[in-house]
């Protein structure tokens, strides 16, 4: 975090970001990251992780009508910072009051001062009153809570709790460059404690910038969640096969496939800006693929008629399994989005099935915990596609990988096309 003398500007900048999200904008579009932005990033991300709670706290504390959006967002950010306890309370209140002028809202200084001091004076009672609703306690919209509880009755609370945590930093070791155990030793020598949690997955005790990772520039490792690393394993790829990664950006899953096997891989991505990240990432790792910018459902634009032995369909989805990495997602998503995602997912499956060779395998993947995007989509596809057979996942893996301290939430469905 920045020193206290810079806290007012950080609070003001974070308030503008959070106010933008409250108005419907994406956090990625609003927030600048990098050196010098650590305080703003922390305030923005963690205020949004507590979005329901800080709003509820403000409602309990405020005795006036609706205030200016940036003032409300400033109060939310300050309430998070008081909860975090990294600054002395009097320092935080003083800097939040100063931030009003930075925002061009000097007239709100008395209001902000009064709200924050009331919170500190009656904290226990204010918290009790604010947390009277389930949305404030669980930090998710009501529809999201109800959907997760319906879909995962035995694990719904743990899923929601995971969605409010800081995500882990997991690395994928490039075994073409360095053995996993040797890289763990390099991490230890660099003062970065870590442990192995999968074939190539290494979990750091604490997140660090990639610049601190030994050998990152030389392609020794990539940042990739342990759950996402399951894709290359479950696809059951063999040397010499033709493989399609149909929704490939930013390229991590393509890279992992190529690290494991010598295959002819085509990577398709419809977003040109995201697609531009694929080739440089592969190059850092000493890998190459046929990268194309195209809508994977528009077959004439990219397919030459030669079938693929394996197809990875990591389809667009709600992202409910990775909400802790994108805390604005919980507040920007709507329940009505799910049928739209399901329709797009069905269209992708129908298209990609046409490029799969007889006897080939297609792995359907989402980073969602909602069954409307997972089992429901696959069941409907199999019902209308007689030659599709859903297979058990290799190694006894479960289709629903629920978010926890080691990995994000994913869904995997493996389909075989009858020969």
CA distance 220 to 201: 12
Give the pairing of strands 356-366 and 264-269: unpaired
Q: Among residues 170, 317, 367, 404, which one is catalytic?
A: 367
Q: Counting every residue, how long is the chain? A: 419
CA distance 320 to 148: 10
> Angle 69-84/109-121 helices, nearest 10 degrees?
30
Q: Is 77 a catalytic residue?
A: no
CA distance 257 to 250: 14
Sequence-separated (6 or more) residues with CB below 8 Å from residue 23: 69
In Å, how far from its chain's centre is CA 32? 17
Catalytic residues: 367
């Amino acid at each position: 975090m920045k020193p206290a003398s810079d806290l007012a500007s950080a609070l003001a900048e974070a308030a503008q970001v959070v106010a933008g999200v409250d108005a419907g904008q994406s956090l990625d579009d609003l927030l600048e990251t990098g050196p010098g932005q650590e305080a703003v990033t922390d305030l923005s991300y963690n205020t949004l992780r507590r979005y329901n709670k800080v709003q509820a706290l403000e409602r309990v504390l405020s005795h006036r009508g609706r205030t200016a959006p940036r003032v409300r967002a400033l109060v939310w950010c300050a309430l998070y910072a008081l909860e975090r306890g990294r600054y002395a309370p009097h320092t935080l209140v003083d800097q939040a009051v100063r931030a009003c002028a930075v925002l061009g809202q000097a007239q709100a200084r008395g209001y902000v001062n009064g709200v924050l001091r009331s919170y500190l004076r009656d904290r226990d009672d204010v918290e009790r009153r604010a947390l009277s609703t389930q949305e404030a306690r669980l930090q998710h919209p009501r529809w999201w809570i109800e959907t997760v509880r319906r879909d995962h009755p035995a694990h719904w609370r743990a899923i929601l709790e995971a969605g409010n945590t800081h995500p882990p930093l997991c690395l994928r070791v490039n075994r073409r460059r360095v053995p996993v155990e040797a890289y763990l030793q390099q991490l230890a020598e660099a003062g970065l404690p870590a442990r192995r949690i999968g074939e190539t997955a290494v979990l750091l005790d604490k997140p660090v910038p990639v610049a601190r990772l030994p050998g990152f520039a030389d392609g020794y490792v990539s940042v990739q969640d342990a759950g996402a690393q399951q894709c290359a394993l479950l696809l059951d790829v063999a040397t010499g096969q033709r493989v399609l990664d149909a929704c490939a950006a930013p390229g991590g899953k393509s890279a992992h496939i190529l690290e494991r096997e010598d295959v002819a891989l085509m990577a398709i991505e419809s977003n040109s800006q995201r697609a531009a990240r694929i080739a440089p990432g592969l190059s850092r790792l000493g890998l190459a693929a046929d990268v194309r910018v195209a809508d994977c459902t528009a077959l004439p634009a990219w397919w030459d008629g030669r079938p693929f032995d394996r197809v990875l369909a990591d389809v667009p989805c709600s992202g409910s399994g990775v909400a802790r990495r994108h805390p604005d997602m919980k507040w920007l998503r709507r329940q009505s989005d799910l049928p739209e995602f399901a329709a797009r997912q069905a269209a992708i499956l129908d298209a990609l099935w046409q490029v799969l060779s007889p006897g080939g395998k297609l792995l359907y993947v989402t980073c969602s915990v909602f069954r409307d995007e997972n089992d429901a989509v696959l069941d409907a596809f199999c019902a209308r596609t007689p030659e599709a057979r859903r297979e058990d996942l290799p190694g006894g893996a479960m289709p629903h990988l629920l978010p926890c301290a080691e990995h994000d939430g994913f869904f995997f469905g493996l389909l075989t096309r009858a020969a």
